[in-house]
Amino acid sequence: MDVLYALRARARQIVGPVFGFTLCAYFAYHLVEGDRGLLALWNLQTQVRDARATLSRLEAARAPLARRVDLLQGNHIDRDFLDERVRAMLNVGAPDDIVIYNPHPE
């Protein structure tokens, strides 16, 4: 009976620290591995960095196109650019025109 009493007394002394350690381990694990943990934060930061790089690349590609569209919109149309586009779309030119081929227009 004394042995059983001694085991219960020691078990009561051990339960608190074991429970506390388990609780700390649980929160430490979820701090790192959880849905909103450190690894998830790093992955999100990588995704944001990649998305910003893609955005800047697309904005750089869009700028020349927006400039060309602006030349053909509004109350004032750039006649030279309109003439250029008409000749390119209809594939016509005047007999005295000098044609300079540009395979990569801006």
Whether residue 88 is contained in a domain is answered as yes
Whether residue 41 is found in the same domain as residue 28: no
Whether residue 73 is found in the same domain as residue 48: yes
Distance CA 85, CA 46 (A): 42
Whether residue 41 is found in the same domain as residue 58: yes
Whether residue 24 is found in the same domain as residue 45: no
Whether residue 40 is found in the same domain as residue 86: yes
- Diameter over CA atoms, the chain: 119
* More confident site: 44 or 92: 44
Domain count, the chain: 2
Whether residue 87 is contained in a domain is answered as yes
Query: What pLDDT, in 10s, does the model give residues 29-75?
Result: 999 998 889 999 999 999 999 999 999 999 999 999 998 888 888 77
Distance CA 93, CA 99 (A): 9
Give the structural domain span for 9: 1-33
Average pLDDT of the chain to the nearest whole number: 88
The DSSP element (H or E) to which 93 belongs, if any, is: none
Whether residue 8 is found in the same domain as residue 40: no
pLDDT at 106: 61
Whether residue 13 is contained in a domain is answered as yes
pLDDT at 93: 78
pLDDT at 31: 93
Whether residue 25 is found in the same domain as residue 59: no
